[in-house]
Structure 1
């Protein structure tokens, strides 16, 4: 790559963010509902003093989230738009998880999202006008995203896959794999393919 001179810098475009389109197009509800959800989320979902997982889930369902039985929803969580969220039965949503779902997020049954994991469905047209671009995310049954994983839009995490801590996921993760490292890649199988192997693995949350 050639060195950039001062004269070259003057020719580099800067996008006027005040003209960037698309934010409200992703809301999916009238502005009053979005603003009301922001207040309700603050008091009943994000609130670190709120100890009732069932109350959190009732509030999310009230605003359109589809959440199965037996789900555990820890404190300090955030959900951008509950009406674009689906969680299967028995899943665990850990403390500090942020689901920034400007598009649909589908989480299967018995899924674990550990502490501080961030799921996002949005990006921007960075070479044009910074318009909002969204794409859905799916996390299939039995998957485990360990602590501080970042999952980006358009990705699918396969059945019973395990994503190691601090991994940025920007591609599909195959079923029954351990995914992570630098750069992130498939590191092996989570469960032995040979059923006669009796081994137990662990991953730090």
Structure 2
């Protein structure tokens, strides 16, 4: 079976953005951007007529589970590469660079102005990208203005402090803070 550009991005294979192979990615960015533009412009009327969640689910290509939601405005580039688990909530001003895949499990809370980044560029040729997924496990809480970098997994029930920059995996049941984020303490069960 031939890998798609999306498979390659999820598996950290280098992609040259100048090639025709990258065209489906450009098309998905245009599809998602168009839907996010409409959502960000009209989210209040959409909330009033109960169409916001359906439109967000369309932007994420059907990958929003029951009881989950995003409060606009939000910036998402690859809706088909992002999943939002049951009863998870993302507050306003999310920036999701999702080419490499963003998987948010159930009962996750994400505060305002959080950056979820899955894309990096080759140091010698900036038109070549290498992506790595971001995975946020069940019950995690990401504080305001935090940044989660490519390839990072946030453990179950862990907390990322406000304005932290997470550069490596966070174990389950931990509080991390700072730039780069370091473990402050373990959360007792």
Q: Same fold (TM over 0.5)?
A: yes
Range that drifts further, 50-59 or 109-118: 50-59
Q: From the two aligned structures, give the one with the greater strand fraction.
A: 2
CA offset digits 1:3-44 (Å, max 9, x no partner)? xxxxxxxxxxxxxxxxx932775674563x542432221111
Residues 1:138 and 1:27: Cα distance change in structure 2 (over 3 Å): farther
CA–CA distance in structure 1, aligned partners of residues 179 and 75 of structure 2: 28
Other-structure match for 2:41: 47
Q: Deviations over 1:51-81 (max 9, x none)?
A: 6296333123324141111112112112111
Between the aligned partners of 1:164 and 1:122, the Cα distance in structure 2 is: 22
How far apart are residue 48 of structure 1 and its match? Answer: 7.2
Corresponding residue number in structure 2 for 1:154: 151
Corresponding residue for residue 168 of structure 2: 171
* Alpha-carbon contact 1:163-1:178 (below 8 Å) kept: yes
Q: Higher relative contact order at CA 8 Å, sep ≥6: structure 1 or structure 2?
A: 2
- Kindly state the Cα deviation for residue 187 of structure 1 after the two structures are TM-superposed: 0.6
What displacement does 1:183 show?
Answer: 4.3
Matching residue within 71, 74, 78 for 1:77:
74
Residues 164 and 180 of structure 2 are in contact (CA less than 8 Å); yes or no, is this contact kept in structure 1?
no
TM-score normalised by the chain length of structure 1: 0.74
CA RMSD after TM alignment:
2.4
- Can you give the 5+ residue segments of structure 2 that lack an aligned partner in the other structure? 1-14
Aligned length: 170
Q: Which residue of 2 aligns with 1:139?
A: 136
Instruction: Write 1 or 2 for the structure with the bigger share of helix.
Output: 2
TM-score, normalisation: structure 2: 0.80
